[in-house]
Amino acid sequence: MNRLGSSFLVGAFLVPLCLGACDGDGAATDGGAADAADAVPPSDAAVADAYCPVVDYAACGGDLTGTWAFRSLCPDDPAAAAALCEHPYDDRAECVGAGNEAVCDGTHTGTLTFNADGTVDIDTTVTLVGTWSFTDACLAAAVTTGTTPEERCANFGNGRATCTYEGSCTCVGDPIVEADTNTATYAVVGDELTIGDDPPASYCIAGDLLTMDYYVFHPVSWRYWVLERQ
């Protein structure tokens, strides 16, 4: 069973990001097939940039016609969102506290083009990366192969992450890229936007910025989608 694993949940899109394999006691080994049985959803990690957090949002509607480029996905509560990015061994006392960190990053690029005929052209790319750090004590508690911290760290990668040891072990998952290019229908009723079969989202256009409130998909994490008119 895989213990050193993670996953990103983007809408209904689930991508496993697995680092290693485990033995029957839940300790990592240096081989075996990776799975997502114990995956956690770090897609809900906080995003910090020039567009986040979204403050005092109020739906106001507006003319969507034209092309909008993704600028950011913003959490409703950055601290609560960051807390959803879990360390894979946080059930072990040696793996809790300073030096045992989990950072989950996701970026959304591309465009939405709303046409006057009620169609929207979607051309987007989601890139997902997880980074985990482990102290020597955590490595000793979690890894059954290797006699030194360097050897134990090297056994975490399993071809799906790059693990390096420089005083502590840091593993960076291979980037996962998901592209979406298609055309859907859209409808606007007041300040609510519905794309395809998705539930409606409220929105507001202020100047050249479009903010969409997708609370139904990501009530804590990527709640607000911020785009800029092109």
| Residue 20 reports pLDDT greater than 50 | no
Percent of the chain with pLDDT over 90: 50
Instruction: Name the band, by pLDDT with cuts 50, 70 and 90, for residue 226.
Output: very high
Average pLDDT rounded to a whole number, residues 53-79: 91
- Lowest-confidence region among 91-100, 134-143, 148-157: 148-157
Domain containing 117 equals: 5-229
Percent of the chain with pLDDT over 70: 76
Per the model's pLDDT, the better-predicted residue between 22 and 166 turns out to be 166
Q: Three-class SS string for the chain?
A: CCCCEEEEEECCEEEEEECCEECCCCCEECCCCCCCCCCCCHHHCCCCCCCCCCCCCCCCECCCCEEEEEEEEECCCHHHHHHCCCCCCCCCHHHCCCCCCEEEEEEEEEEEEECCCCEEEEEEEEEEEEEEEECHHHHHHHECCCCCHHHHHHCCCCCCEEEEECCCEEEEECCEEEEEEEEEEEEEECCEEEECCCCCEEEEEECCEEEEECCCCCCCCCCEEEEEEC
The mean pLDDT of the chain is 78
Whether this prediction's pTM lies above 0.85 is answered by no
Neighbours of 167 (CB within 10 A): 9
For 170-204, the pLDDT digits (tens) are 999 889 899 999 999 999 999 999 999 988 999 99
Which residues are 106's β-sheet partners? 128
Cα separation, 106 vs 173, in Å, equals 12
Q: What is the pLDDT of residue 45?
A: 40
Domain count, the chain: 1
For 67-118, the pLDDT digits (tens) are 999 998 888 877 777 777 878 888 999 999 999 999 888 888 999 999 999 9
66-70, 146-150, 161-165 — most confident range? 66-70
Q: What is the pLDDT of residue 32?
A: 29
Q: What is the pLDDT of residue 221?
A: 64
Q: What is the pLDDT of residue 223?
A: 86
Q: What is the pLDDT of residue 118?
A: 98
| Token pair listed for 15 | 């991508």
Average pLDDT rounded to a whole number, residues 158-179: 90
| Token pair listed for 20 | 């290693």
> Do residues 47 and 77 touch, judged by C-beta distance below 8 A?
no
Q: What is the pLDDT of residue 220?
A: 65
